[in-house]
């Protein structure tokens, strides 16, 4: 299986780059498209449809391929994967539950392949400002596919505008739904992991009052006051115009302990001034143990690359392509180290790479359970057997 990448500032550039590859006797069947909400998604799909190329697409908060990182542009990873090795599934949720949508998706995937692996993108926020429930999504994927099945992916972005995110295929798109690339794992292997890099600070804390995504008290003290005191930002408590998520939460998420002993990041998104509660990106039930955090050290890129090298060694061989789903909060926190880690991963696997900055990530920590992540670098290498 061959893979090639193209990039462009507008659809015409993508069309020209695609034609150049087609002239090189490369006949792609599948395109993974990561694209700014500012771009014309329909035009891109029409260009690819004319060449009978299937589309798996998501909008982004920035996109990248080997040696190139952009904002407001388009990147495409092209494959000549045999069509019998994969299927693209699309589920618009509308009035259904996430669980119902995943049930339908899983049933279709398991009818297609006995041993499916899944690369999946969900929306991140609707045009009405409603966040996608990534925790319920992941638990539903586990429930209907089985805990042994592999899936990686991310939530679509919208260039930090919070105006609406989209996933799409050749004919459909939605601001509330799922697009999945399902591969036959007997023919195509998927190897990857999710890693964050944030470190715990101080003693562990406990959620003492919560409801849904609202976090009221920590150690029986008001959660808002405690979080802002820890950050030294108490003067911002009454500033209703303060963009809490973009200014501070992406730098200082919470490290949440799972029952298995593993940890995941959870981010405060905003303040509900009426309820006097932090609005979290995912539910934190009463009794949940967690830590406040400090951002990753400068060695985070080295850690990610070293882990990738170990997985490559254990699985013996290179990859045909690499996908990266990196949290939109990583560039503001890590700066140029984000480019180092993305390009470093591509160098490890010696393969074409494409990725985008997401509003949430789906994947498995090393030797761990499938999780919904915040603040992670989630990558997956594909290899035809």
Is 41 a residue whose pLDDT tops 90? yes
Question: d(Cα 58, Cα 35) in Å, to the nearest integer?
Answer: 6
Chosen domain end from 243, 264, 294: 294
Average pLDDT in the 191-213 region?
92
> In this predicted model, what pLDDT tens digit does every residue of 253-310 receive, in sequence order?
999 988 777 888 999 988 898 999 999 988 999 999 999 998 888 788 888 898 889 8
Of 336, 355, 323, the residue nearest 157 (C-alpha): 355
Indicate whether 325 and 280 sit together in one domain: no
pLDDT attached to residue 367: 66
Last-in-domain residue among 276, 294, 312: 294
How much is the pTM? 0.91
**pLDDT at position 316:** 62
Structure tokens, 302: 């080295």
* Pairing of β 199-211 and β 214-218: antiparallel
Q: How many domains does the chain have?
A: 2
Assign residue 29 a region: left if phi > 0, alpha if psi is -120 to 50, beta otherwise?
alpha
Question: Is the domain of 286 the same as that of 306?
Answer: no
E strands in 60-149: 63-65, 68-70, 74-79, 86-92, 116-122
Instruction: Say whether both 266 and 318 belong to one domain.
Output: no
Burial class (CB in 10 A: 0-12, 13-18, 19+), 92: middle
Residue 160 and residue 213 in one domain:
no
pLDDT tens figures, 53-81: 999 999 999 999 999 999 999 999 999 99
Do 232 and 254 sit in the same domain of this protein? yes
Out of 294, 323, 355, a domain closes at: 294
From the CB of residue 147, how many other CB atoms can be counted at a distance below 10 Å?
9
Domain that holds residue 287: 199-294
Residue 88: what pLDDT? 98
Does one domain contain both 86 and 220?
A: no
Same domain, 134 and 224: no
**Residue 60 shares a structural domain with residue 154:** yes
- 242 and 346 inside one domain: no
364 and 233 share one domain? no
């Amino acid at each position: 299986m061959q893979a090639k990448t193209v990039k462009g500032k507008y659809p015409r550039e993508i069309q020209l780059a695609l034609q150049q590859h087609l002239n090189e006797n490369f006949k792609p069947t599948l395109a993974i498209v990561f694209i700014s909400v500012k771009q014309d998604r329909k035009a891109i799909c029409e260009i690819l449809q004319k060449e009978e190329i299937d589309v798996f697409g998501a909008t982004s908060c920035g996109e990248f391929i080997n040696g190139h990182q952009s904002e407001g542009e388009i990147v495409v990873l092209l494959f000549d994967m045999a069509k019998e090795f994969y299927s693209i599934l699309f589920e618009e949720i509308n009035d259904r539950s996430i669980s119902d949508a995943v049930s339908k998706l899983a049933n279709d995937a398991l009818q297609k392949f006995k041993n499916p692996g899944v690369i999946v993108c969900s929306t991140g926020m609707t045009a009405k400002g409603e966040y996608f429930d990534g925790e319920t999504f992941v638990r539903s994927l586990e429930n209907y596919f089985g805990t042994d099945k592999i899936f990686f992916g991310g939530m679509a972005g919208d260039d930090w505008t919070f105006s609406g995110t989209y996933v799409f295929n050749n004919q459909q798109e939605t601001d509330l739904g799922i697009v999945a690339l399902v591969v036959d794992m007997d023919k195509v292997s998927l190897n990857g992991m999710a890693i964050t890099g944030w470190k715990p600070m101080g003693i562990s804390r406990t959620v003492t009052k919560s409801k849904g995504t609202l976090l009221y008290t920590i150690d029986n003290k008001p959660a808002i006051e405690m979080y802002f005191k820890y950050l030294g930002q108490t003067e911002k408590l009454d500033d209703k115009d303060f963009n809490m998520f973009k200014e501070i939460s992406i730098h200082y998420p919470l490290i949440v302990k799972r029952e298995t002993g593993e940890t995941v990041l959870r981010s405060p998104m905003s303040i509900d001034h009426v309820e006097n509660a932090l609005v979290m990106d995912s539910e934190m039930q009463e009794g949940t143990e967690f830590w406040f955090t400090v951002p990753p050290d400068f060695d985070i890129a080295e850690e990610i690359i070293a882990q990738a090298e170990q997985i490559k060694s254990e699985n013996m061989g290179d990859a045909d392509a690499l996908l990266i789903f990196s949290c939109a909060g990583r560039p503001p926190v890590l700066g140029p180290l984000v480019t180092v880690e993305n390009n470093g991963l591509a160098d490890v696997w010696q393969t074409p790479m494409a990725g985008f900055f997401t509003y949430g990530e789906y994947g498995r920590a090393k030797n761990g359970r499938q999780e919904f992540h915040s603040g992670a670098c989630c990558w997956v290498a594909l290899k035809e057997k």
